[in-house]
Amino acid sequence: MSEQPVSQQAPVAGGADLRPRVEKLLGDILGLMGFPARLDMQDAADGSLSVALHFEAGPPPGVEQGRRSQVLDSLQFLLNKMLHRPGVDRRWVVLGCGAHPEPRQRREPQQPQAAAEKAPAQQAAAPAPKAQAAPPPPPAKQQAQRGADKQAQRGAASKAQADGDERTLAVEEDAALREAVRKLAEKSASLGRFYALAAMKQDDRARVLKAVEGVVGLKVAAEGEGRNRRVVFTPEKPAPLPKRSLLPDDDEDDFDE
């Protein structure tokens, strides 16, 4: 049973029937994940619905109490996709582990007209400084600076190449990882299922890409940037999921936005 403290704020449109739906969907999803949790809901200051997840047997891997994680971000994205139908008022739901998440600070955009009026006033108040040519550095310093610039350019090019294709990295083979990844690749090709491996280091992504070489029936590539970069398994012959495996209230119209 979820705890629903009474909020002192005015009710938000669409909030009357939102909490039961959130409780039902989250309960089903967390149950399928194998990590049931007690839900503590309250109205946030920014108008969203804040939900604190108190896991009964400990949080899932990659989730820490009081901190954001890719697991909770993905679960939050999926939940809001399932809750919000096209053409209806939307109310965002935010998730936190063991506590309510802190509201994010939003920066107000500067008005173009006010900024344009402020710039001429500042230019008129402050006299224009006289341009002074900087003295050229000594020849030794010029050579050292050119060498440092070239080295920085080579390092940036090397990093860009590594981020673009991890297959070019030289890494030591991990036998256990290679065996597990090849089994996953063969399963993706035979069943026609899409899989993705996230939250991996660059070296591990390189090991995964090298391990699946030679597996027929699918394409494996690294996609995304930064912490969202992941290895995606794409079968050549995708197969639709059976209806009984779809999540409750799942609607293909939610993904046509």
| pLDDT of 212 strictly over 50 | yes
Residue 96 burial (CB count, 10 A): 19
CATH of 167-241, one of 2.10.109.10, 1.20.58.340, 3.30.56.10, 3.30.1370.50: 3.30.1370.50
CA–CA distance, 58 with 47 (Å, rounded to integer): 29
Res 160: pLDDT: 45
Every domain of the chain and the residues it spans: 18-97, 167-241
Q: Are 49 and 55 in contact (CB under 8 A)?
A: no
Q: Are 235 and 189 in contact (CB under 8 A)?
A: yes
- The single residue listed with the structure tokens 């705890």 is 3
> Residue 88: pLDDT band by 50, 70, 90 thresholds?
low
CA–CA distance, 20 with 28 (Å, rounded to integer): 12
Name the token pair of 105: 């600070």
Res 31: pLDDT: 86
Q: Are 196 and 233 in contact (CB under 8 A)?
A: yes
Q: Are 101 and 50 in contact (CB under 8 A)?
A: yes
Q: Are 85 and 66 in contact (CB under 8 A)?
A: no
Res 225: pLDDT: 87
Q: Are 100 and 50 in contact (CB under 8 A)?
A: yes
CA–CA distance, 71 with 192 (Å, rounded to integer): 24
Res 30: pLDDT: 87
Q: Are 235 and 217 in contact (CB under 8 A)?
A: yes
CATH of 18-97, one of 3.40.50, 2.60.120, 3.30.300, 3.40.1360: 3.30.300
| pLDDT of 117 strictly over 60 | yes
Name the token pair of 224: 């995304």
Q: Are 67 and 97 in contact (CB under 8 A)?
A: yes
pTM above 0.75, yes or no: no
pLDDT, tens digit, for every residue of 136-168? Answer: 666 666 777 787 877 776 665 455 444 557 888
CA–CA distance, 159 with 176 (Å, rounded to integer): 27
> Residue 190: pLDDT band by 50, 70, 90 thresholds?
very high
Single-letter code of the amino acid located at 151: Q
Query: Is 175 buried (19+), middle (13-18) or exposed (0-12) by CB count in 10 A?
Result: exposed
Helix, strand, coil shares of the chain, percent, nearest 5, are 45, 15, 45
Single-letter code of the amino acid located at 45: A
